[in-house]
Structure 1
């Protein structure tokens, strides 16, 4: 009898709005962290626990090259056409990433991934 380890990986994301970092966990363990931009004081990134509900390639405009839509309507994690904004609190509430980083994240996480914003 052979034992086949599960090839299913479980991913989760924690977004820390204070440190402006997005941390990706794989099977509950730290996997990678990325610098991000978050919402400005007048339109803060909403704290809470959400899930990724949709994904889009080349959504256009200020959203850069990829979009990961969250279960809170009108909010997502996306690339940017303004890379100088990364590390700042400047968005309308979404989480911005460098385009190279959102491509990497987009290719790793499936729809249904938990996203915790603290």
Structure 2
């Protein structure tokens, strides 16, 4: 089990709730970059800032430079790997999910800047049933009722991942934890000075009736549920949001 650790305040980001503090959960490392076993997800841990390209070669269009640390916790950036390739020079590349807008976008990064890892976890959020399901080794393990985005600020659909797991002070909105996702609101381009980042978080000091659509786009869970997730789900874990 991964145990979050709170960092000093001041590492704040404006999720769609506002958050400080941090929690890191390390994935299991692999010796080589290869497709992950069935029921698991291959990950790439960034060792330094890395440029992502539109194709698996440095002559293709640059997409973005991905920092090797996350803005809230300062923890290592971990990205889900969705494809492998080798260029004409024999260099290995990874197609990874990228954080930020546009939602669910991908890019190719060199394996030279990464350490391979793997996770057994996958989170599935279903808007129609207003549930979050934690899947391990390809099998549903726990399902929780949640609050989803209201019609005017809906929770975005797509393929995402956990950017960082954050421990919140008990007085903060959304405490005690937040799983900050790579997803961004399709309506709110900015929220409280931040990029409109979507998160799974608690209901402390913010409320919400489970099973309703009432948030700015984030997913709200009761204290027991978000604590269960936050102590198991760390950076890079894949998150699928479906209707």
TM-score (ref. length: structure 1): 0.87
Residue in structure 1 matched with residue 215 of structure 2 by the alignment: 91
Q: Which has the higher contact order (CA 8 A, sep 6+)?
A: 1
Q: Is the 8 A contact 2:200 2:218 kept in 1?
A: yes
Residue in structure 1 matched with residue 128 of structure 2 by the alignment: 18
Residue in structure 1 matched with residue 95 of structure 2 by the alignment: none
Structure 1 segments, 4+ long, off by >6 Å, are none
Q: Is the 8 A contact 1:83 1:98 kept in 2?
A: no
Residue in structure 2 matched with residue 4 of structure 1 by the alignment: none
Greater CA deviation, 28-37 or 8-17?
8-17
User: Deviation at 1:77?
Assistant: 0.4
2:152 paired with 1:42: yes
2:240 paired with 1:116: yes
Q: Is the 8 A contact 2:208 2:220 kept in 1?
A: no
Instruction: Give SS of 2:229's match.
Output: helix
User: Deviation at 1:84?
Assistant: 4.5
Residue in structure 2 matched with residue 69 of structure 1 by the alignment: 180
User: Deviation at 1:62?
Assistant: 2.4
Uncovered stretches (5+) of structure 1, i.e. residues with no partner: 1-7
Taking a change above 3 Å as real, the CA distance of residues 77 and 25 of structure 1, as seen in their structure-2 partners, is: same
Q: Which one of the candidate residues 203, 208, 211 is aligned to 1:80?
A: 203
- Which string of whole-angstrom CA distances, capped at 9 and with x for unpartnered residues, describes residues 64-96 of structure 1? 210100012411100012555211100000000
2:143 paired with 1:33: yes
Q: What RMSD over aligned residues (CA atoms) do the two structures have, in Å? A: 1.6
- Which string of whole-angstrom CA distances, capped at 9 and with x for unpartnered residues, describes residues 21-73 of structure 1? 10010011111101100000000000001000011111553212101000124
TM-score (ref. length: structure 2): 0.43
Return the alpha-carbon distance in structure 1 between the equivalents of residues 173 and 241 of structure 2. Answer: 21
Uncovered stretches (5+) of structure 2, i.e. residues with no partner: 1-117, 185-196
